[in-house]
Structure 1
């Protein structure tokens, strides 16, 4: 009932404030929404608990209150003040606006000539460290006068799970189906990449390119890519009915899809990301897109990682999975994944939060 009331108030209060704003949008999302200039001060009012909240364009409002973070034995009740969070992850175009305005050096590694790859203005920016993401948030705050930050893990999770506390932004299962060579999905994960190449370019020539591997330099085709175990047994690239991918990676022998020149070429343009707003059915109950897949989001919360190469290390948590991740890693609760705050990664981006002053 509370969630329904909030939705009604959001619609009724959705009249745009009329303050002039000379800053033009930097791009359009896949769903046709403008991606505002990050220094824009345009807002839309919503009502929460009798208070009027000025929500920045490009953000959604998550109302104050308690929610359940985590599941099972790790579940806990968390009470949060209301906050605004990015509808989308920060895009290449938004990040370029920051770099251009500040003169900050050091563009993401897949950019060339000071700018992002052609056609990727509305894709989420990757290869940005948490430290740089915080610089971006501070810049937005300075330009707008708002209190802007990187979300905590709890803020991120509440926005992703929505008013009903789903395990994925849209429900409690991944809802992925692969049949007759067609993948149906509400988010961008590694199955999307594999399905695309198996359907469109199965005979594309590829080469295993990790020089630590005994398979280094061996050529094959996409439909024959395999992950080899130490005995030489091959697991050929394929997709299960629920979107599970086989032949994606075998770290022991440096084989599988990610150890090919095809994967390297994807990384050189920022990875197989999709434009923000591409998955309408995948948005959360609060209206956030790509909180499953596409790129992980940095969180301003530290954990001792229980998953991945960082296992056992104190790192900053990342949430939501990516185009590289398996579908189960893209759920809204923590899977114990994190990265060093100083590092920049081909699968990690970020979004921002704003703590509003209520009137």
Structure 2
């Protein structure tokens, strides 16, 4: 599980290493060594415990700079700029129907309408039809929160400025669950008889079903399947004035940021720099989310 720790560590550190990845032992190891382990963690080490007592895989994105935005996309995607982010954990997968049902049972929260739609209700499919507030409440119940737009982009893009989570190769059905032929989304509304093209599915798929589309940190479905809510308010011009370190978006707004595109939309929005927005109370069978946690929690 990742590269070896530096030579010369005491036996207590070697024992800690055996359990690297469990949240409890991350804390114990730090105490054993007398120094922080954050700089020792390789990108993509997994965390499998959350305060709510559920088992969810989270991956670490280490602190550092990355290139955010682009000068070659739509205007809201620029200018390209360097951002420094503190380390954080992020869900490897989009939150599933099974996870959200468990939350609803535990808290009495309402289930979104799409959990009753057989096209979207499988336990392993991402929960969709979720408002921003519902997504935020779920993440807080788990001891986390929604990712900032900057956290989401770094987790999808890494530090090499790649166009798609998987690299530079043009999108295809092997990389993402998306509307390949323009027949699942708006085009299909106008032409109901149009069927999908090969490799295309006009609904979400089980999370992680496109492993070739993994991001540099090992995250899955960062492009396609379901749009993902971010914590930020949306502003077309925010990049021109955003802080260099840990930006968290404008103080207010009308729309909330979504990222990553969905099964319902065309390939442009699969790009790691692509920005979009919805009203916070908007529901759609193409809107889901994932959560983050700070490393010091």
* 1:186 and 2:175 aligned: yes
Selected match of 1:85 from 84, 90, 112? 90
> Which protein shows a greater Rg?
1
**Which residue of 1 is the match for residue 279 of structure 2?**
340
Q: List structure 1 runs of 4+ shifted beyond 2 angstroms.
A: 6-10, 12-19, 41-48, 50-57, 115-119, 172-176, 245-250, 258-263
* 1:48 and 2:47 aligned: no
Given that 1:17 and 1:42 are in contact with CA atoms closer than 8 Å, whether structure 2 keeps it comes out as: no
Deviation at 1:99, TM superposition (A): 0.3
**Which residue of 1 is the match for residue 271 of structure 2?**
331
Change (3 A) 1:262 1:84: farther
Deviation at 1:121, TM superposition (A): 0.4
Q: Could you list the per-position Cα deviations for residues 167-198 of structure 1 after superposition, in whole angstroms to 9, with x for gaps in the alignment?
A: 1001124243xxxxxxx53111111xxxxxxx
**Which residue of 1 is the match for residue 146 of structure 2?**
150
**Which residue of 1 is the match for residue 170 of structure 2?**
174
Given that 1:158 and 1:165 are in contact with CA atoms closer than 8 Å, whether structure 2 keeps it comes out as: no
Q: Could you list the per-position Cα deviations for residues 195-229 of structure 1 after superposition, in whole angstroms to 9, with x for gaps in the alignment?
A: xxxxxxxxxxxxxxxxxxxxxxxxxxxxxxxxxxx
* 1:8 and 2:6 aligned: no
Change (3 A) 1:155 1:91: same
Distance in structure 2 (CA, Å) of the matches to 1:138 and 1:340: 20
**Which residue of 2 is the match for residue 160 of structure 1?**
156
* 1:301 and 2:232 aligned: yes
Selected match of 2:80 from 75, 78, 81? 75
* 1:109 and 2:99 aligned: no
Between Structure 1 and Structure 2, the one with more strand by share is 1
Distance in structure 1 (CA, Å) of the matches to 2:21 and 2:212: 31
User: Once superposed, what is the RMSD of the aligned Cα atoms?
Assistant: 3.5
Deviation at 1:138, TM superposition (A): 1.4
2:142 is paired with a residue whose SS is helix
1:243-322, aligned counterparts within 5 Å? 245=181, 256-259=187-190, 272-304=203-235, 314-322=254-262
Deviation at 1:260, TM superposition (A): 5.8
Deviation at 1:67, TM superposition (A): 0.8
Deviation at 1:334, TM superposition (A): 2.7
Distance in structure 1 (CA, Å) of the matches to 2:59 and 2:41: 16
Change (3 A) 1:351 1:271: farther
TM-score using structure 1 length: 0.60
